[in-house]
A and B are shown apart, each in its own frame.
Chain A
Amino acid sequence: MVSRSRNNLSSHPNTIDMKLTITNVSKRYGNSTYGLKNFSITMQSGILGLLGPNGAGKSTLLKMVATVSKPTKGLICLNKNNIIKDPNYMRQQLGFLPQDFGVYPNLNAVEFLKYMAATKGVGGTNMDKRINQLLEGLNLMEAAKKPIGSYSGGMKQRVGIAQALLNNPKVVIFDEPTVGLDPEERVRFRNLISDMANESIIILSSHIVSDIDTIADKVAIMKNGSLLTHGNQEDLIAQINDKVFETTIQKSELNAFKLANTVISTARVNGQLAVRYLSDQPRGNSVSKEANLEDAYLYLTKNN
């Protein structure tokens, strides 16, 4: 069950119609290795949660949407503009927080954000005000004049978030954004994304399902460079509604149990193991459980 669901964004009065279309996009490395293969999806304003195990091709896809790399074949269009041919159209409205980003350690946060604003081609009289607002909102004001090289991991991550929001972006890409953030910051970050989604296309990539399930309007699940499925969370979960069970087994049985079933999680209970698993034919003493996005994700990635 989705713990928090956002309103249907297409009905929001301030929604600006943004449309990102990815058609048959592939990225080939060498002769036969594909990072991404025939990937197609269409996105509009709102949050798309991109889920997939490591190596699924999430970052490869995001880098191409962010115009950092070019697809071997296929088409990526933003509002009918081909961004492979005209990457600057995307760059003007892009906010990008890469998975493994760095900073120039000798610059302080204000200098760094001014630099980033310049790289994005924005500035003007409101620049200082916006930078201050962002630093204030991300609790970085006190350290704003200190070199970023001395920041903690969480502070650097927040500087990364601030730079992604500098240019009032209409397409925002967050690749594993919650890495380095503590639990409270994660919640605040999720709220921030929700607020932004009214006017922007937000692509949120993660392999942590809980980062996605509370805020994503739609979810795409990837594996081995291909799109397994794409749709509303409810529709994805509905695929496995009668397939999630829980039972108790002896510890020694676990390996054999794993061979016969898709185990989602295990927990120790009174010297035994409580096992949550996916199955079409549950064993005798199993109890049916309500499915969630994590169950659907594991079911789809393990059975495809």
Chain B
Amino acid sequence: MPVIKVDGKDYEVAEGGNLLESCLGLGLDLPYFCWHPAMGSIGACRQCAVVQYQNEEDTRGRIVMACMTPVTDGAIFDLSGERASGFRQTVVESLMVDHPHDCPVCAEGGECHLQDMTVMTGHRDRHYRGTKKTYRNQYLGPLIHHEMNRCITCYRCTRFYRDYAGGTDLAALAAHDHVYFGRHREGTLESPFAGNLVEVCPTGVFTDKSLVHDYTRKWDLQSAPSVCTSCGVGCNTLPGERYGRLKRIHNRYNPAVNGYFLCDRGRFGGTHVNAESRIDFPAQRDSEGRFQALTDEACARALRDRLQGKRLAGIGSPRAGAEANLLLQRLVGAENYASGMADDEHALMQRALAHLVNSTAHNPSLREIESADAVLLLGEDLTHTAARTALALRQAVRNEAHRLAEELRLAPWQDAAIRNLAQDRRSPLHVVCAGSTDLDDIAAGHYRLVAADQARLASDIAAIIRGEARSDGAAARIAADLLAAERPLVLSGPGAGSAALLDGAAAIAEALVAAGKAAMLSFTAAECNSMGQALLCRDSHIALAALASTDAEVLIILENDLLRRLPMASVEALRARIPTWIGIDCLENDTLARCDLVLPAAAFTETEATYINQEGRAQRAFPTHPPAEARRPAWRWLLDLARAAGDRTLSGIGHFDDIGVTLAGEDPLLQGIASAAPDHSFRSRGLKIPRQPHRYSGRTAMRADVSVHEPRQTDDADSALAFSMEGSATTDRPGALLSYVWSPGWNSNQSLHKFQSEIGGALRGEGSGLRLLDSLAVAAATPAPLPEAFSRREQEWLLQARHHLFGSDELSRLGSGIEALTGRAAIYLHPEDASRLGLEAGDGAVIAGAALEVRLDPSQVPGSAGFSTGYPETLALRSGEWVNIDVASDWQRQPELIGSDRGAAS
């Protein structure tokens, strides 16, 4: 490893890095703006200047930018001398020429990298006497607030938005000191990753609109390590709370999963927990069908009355934590327990699980997905079903660029140079999907096929790789690209609704391994704990459709809206069949409305839970704040239910960790779930870990309107975290317990590097989450029959689900700002099909009773119809069904809005 001299001291640093990341890794404070650990160096801001000397004799030296300077053995640098620090002060002073002094009213204030760096350089007095420039800000949609006057022109926003995330509608416009970062015209930012601008921007140009409107400074936010519940990827998050409201969600760094970035569904969807439709009190339906709130005592009595001596059945939930599901399964018995996924999806997840466990191909983490040098994506519009994984694929296709860079000995952090070198040369990505996808722009090939034909193509590709078949068509091209790679990845999922497709994906990966490739196989999962439910039910399970034929007297429904899983008629039949329904959930829905007893569940920000992502990684989320009113974590309600039912096996469970201790036994799955994070007895330097930063203010005042007496802080007996500003917040605390990032002089999220053992690498404390599938045994899946090739019908259309990042997920669609982006549920038709039906874009069409807006899409396979899945209007529609399409008679066309109207509306 090279040894460099900085300010007269020798340091050993990692080979191949640049001086800036080396210095930061050594704990030396060196200010910077344009460099980003995930995006590398471009040398724009000139803030990380140091003086480099040629040798010991060189007394003059020259100013170099640390981010653009490779560390080489024997290199000599002066970081803190007058010349280097004077230069850095002048850089900040130049940036301040136009920066407004509006920190007191800026949403970034208190966690502003520009503030931190300004202080760090030592700059104090401004000499510029001229006027400051001002800009017109743009309306950028309901999620992001724009304030260009604060811009210091570091180019991070466009580098992230365009270069890293593939967006096209945000750009650096104009030139010299008028450079403007915005859209060509006002309008909602199109990238599903736009929210990362909030964290990428070193100052307050791009801020979180819902936070701006319901504002709290970072130092006043209480936060805890959490896991995103908006899809199956399991990104690590840091929700921030004050006054019992979720104020915002920030990224929580996990090098194996989401790294530095989230998708906008995850970042903005979480505020559904603030919705008006939250359930606050337990309630019982009275004789007139109205719900009456219950006191604790009355509730306990009602539970006893309804449960004692009764035969129980339970429906779990792929959006509830593993512990609550496990308790319900134990309470009702595995044979009376449904996973809560729709029956077809349950079967697909079981199949995906079986393939992942039994395949000789590697089941990759998200970070490993980024290392793939050829990708086959089967049946998923990934940007809408697992957006963060789509962002990982955008990095994977750059591996060709890194290979080219290696030939020229360009270091991986030489971002601009590598992009200029590679231009649009990419590692191959082949996308097979029912329509166009949001990854087509980087795809070497895209193939628009309905699910049956997708499965047939996958089967052909596998046969070609095995050498059993030949072709000169798409299958051969895809096979050739996969075989030319070293680390090919096959990625599929339940989105297309095809068992044969999952088998095909697994067969391709298997054939690639047999061909000597370090092949990877990955499947998406629809919800945050879908894989957990597949695991929990891997041996025993009752189908939702079979529940109606049991003799159960009480049905316990855990965090699940059955209308999303079953046809309405089946729900009604089940309701008629089982006399008592008890529902536990956080937001009103049509299932709770059918229950006899409703128990208010804590939302994901209010409960401890373990979620198992698509990779089989168990990750623990901790409550950010205690649940208000009579809300309680679902697992606590289930313990109450068990007590009321007289269940003795669960009666010894007192706090969260007891669930694992009591129930895990020899089961490696349950042992794994229990050890996903340090337990409640963990202490750092003998202390619990605070959720509140040490500057948390107003503790004695924030409830003064209710009572002048400061309430006692809520104890958290369930975890090693405390609802307090007191405790040990060291930089080496375990990743699973990283409640916030802060370090002296580093108030923004850029302080993260203080928590890393190396820049962009592992955390200093132990990592977060535990992979479960590596040590489990699951029976292999019986191969599904290969479906017949698709042939269109005269008067019927084959339905194919289309997933929408904003809208298809049950809860995130209620997030602040996201409601405005879900749009109407739509039906997608090939233009020729539409004209046969006499439909135009914007018209209404009726499918199986649902009136949907018609959208024309030339990528839709003729004879098939895409539909917005997961929308309230489309719950009755199922992928793979043949339907009639009729013209909606009394359809109101959506008025066309223009940008300025939206601006006024907001």
Instruction: Say whether A associates with B.
Output: no
Q: List chain B positions with a Cβ less than 8 A from chain A.
A: none
